[in-house]
Amino acid sequence: MRQQDNKYLSNRKLVKSGSLLEIYQFGRDIHLERRIRHIKTEEEIEEAKKFPKPKASQEEILKSSARRAKRMIKRLIMANCFLWFKEKGKPYLPITLTLTFAENITDLKKANYEFTKFIRRLNYETNGIEGKDLKQSNLKYLAVFELQKRGAIHYHMIFFNLPYIKNIYKKMFDIWGQGRIMVGGKDRNFTKIKNQAQLQKIIFYFIKYIQKSVFENNCPRQKKYIASKGLLKPQENSFVEVVSLVESKLPSDSLVYKWDGEAEYNQSDVNDSVGKPVNFMRWFNYFQYDLSSRPDLDKEISHLLTGLSIDDIDF
């Protein structure tokens, strides 16, 4: 990492979400601001005007919105599954839930209101939480909405720390009170998520509905998911020294996906940089690692990333 005019430059980025580890290598340096926010000079503003950003089409906006939502949903699910624990230290097994409306409710604002009431009632039923304390929900969950062709709204949820509920189907049905429910993918006989293979199927399932809601129902301005307060967040780090240290600890067989953006860029017809500023982002490489079979290494890297700030790095 280099320092330049109060800017800290890096061409690397690491994102750790549970046992999922992603590493980016960018085709140019990106800025990491430290305390003093950089204000562009008049010369920089005039230079930027020479290369105006092209306006994105509606389809490009939708694609970008869907990509961001899918990426964040995957990371949040990976960062929270099997990482919420019971009093005796045993992890909760995640469980999915689908909520439907008996009436053909197409108003998302109204549907979200009923969804919020359901969460409040469920919090009270499982944890005895009510009143002002509801703002600090004990239940940790993520939900996406699905808009069907007729416009009806469904909610698909995953709970990360749902306590044991006797006769869960009947209880959930009564608490929801708006229509049919499915617990764990089935009407009455539910199963919890017990391993990474099942978890990956659930992530694909959630992402599919994001794609469907965005493109088939054209709702780019609507938030694509609902997340409870207090979820564990993915760990991010862009210090070259830290990313390199983490890479040195990763066994080769933990790499599950690689995208060589640099090679693709060099082989394409769009690599003509004439008329483009020097800092134009041309490409990035992407590496994805799975640490689920190496829990000790997983914990070691998490501890390494926890609490690091720009002041901890020597330049």
Question: Helix/strand/coil (H, E, C) string of 71-139?
Answer: HHHHHHHHHHCCCCECCCCCECCCEEEEEECCCCCCCHHHHHHHHHHHHHHHHHHHHCCCHHHHHHCCC
Backbone angles phi, psi at 219, to 5 degrees: -125, 60
Question: Which sign does the torsion angle of CA 24, 68, 95, 91 carry?
Answer: positive
In a domain, 42, yes or no: no
- Are the CB atoms for 199 and 94 separated by under 8 Å? yes
Q: Which of 186, 207, 227 corresponds to the end of one domain?
A: 227
Measured CA angle at 60 (ends 56, 62), to 5 deg? 120
Domain identity same for 108 and 126: yes
In a domain, 197, yes or no: yes
pLDDT per residue as tens, the chain (315 positions): 555 555 578 899 999 999 999 999 998 887 765 544 556 677 777 776 666 667 777 777 777 778 888 999 999 999 999 999 998 899 999 999 999 998 888 888 899 999 999 999 999 888 765 555 555 568 999 999 888 777 788 899 999 999 988 888 899 999 999 999 988 765 555 668 888 989 999 999 888 877 665 555 555 566 789 999 999 999 999 999 999 999 999 999 999 999 987 766 666 555 554 444 444 556 789 999 999 999 999 999 999 998 655 455 554
In a domain, 68, yes or no: no
Domain identity same for 93 and 150: yes
Domain identity same for 108 and 198: yes
Q: Which of 227, 245, 263 corresponds to the end of one domain?
A: 227
| Predicted TM-score of the model (pTM) | 0.82
Can you tell me the distance from the alpha carbon of 99 to that of 209, in angstroms, rounded to the nearest whole number? Answer: 14
- Are the CB atoms for 172 and 97 separated by under 8 Å? yes
In a domain, 73, yes or no: no
Domain identity same for 159 and 216: yes
Domain identity same for 115 and 187: yes
In a domain, 21, yes or no: yes
Backbone angles phi, psi at 20, to 5 degrees: -90, 125
Q: What is the pLDDT of residue 35?
A: 43
Count of structural domains, the chain: 2
In a domain, 64, yes or no: no
Domain range spanning residue 179? 84-227
In a domain, 54, yes or no: no
Can you tell me the distance from the alpha carbon of 311 to that of 315, in angstroms, rounded to the nearest whole number? Answer: 10
Can you tell me the distance from the alpha carbon of 28 to that of 102, in angstroms, rounded to the nearest whole number? Answer: 53
Look up residue 37 and give its two tokens. Answer: 């926010």
In a domain, 165, yes or no: yes
Domain identity same for 180 and 210: yes
Domain identity same for 210 and 91: yes
Q: Which of 185, 207, 227 corresponds to the end of one domain?
A: 227
Domain identity same for 253 and 118: no
Domain identity same for 197 and 90: yes
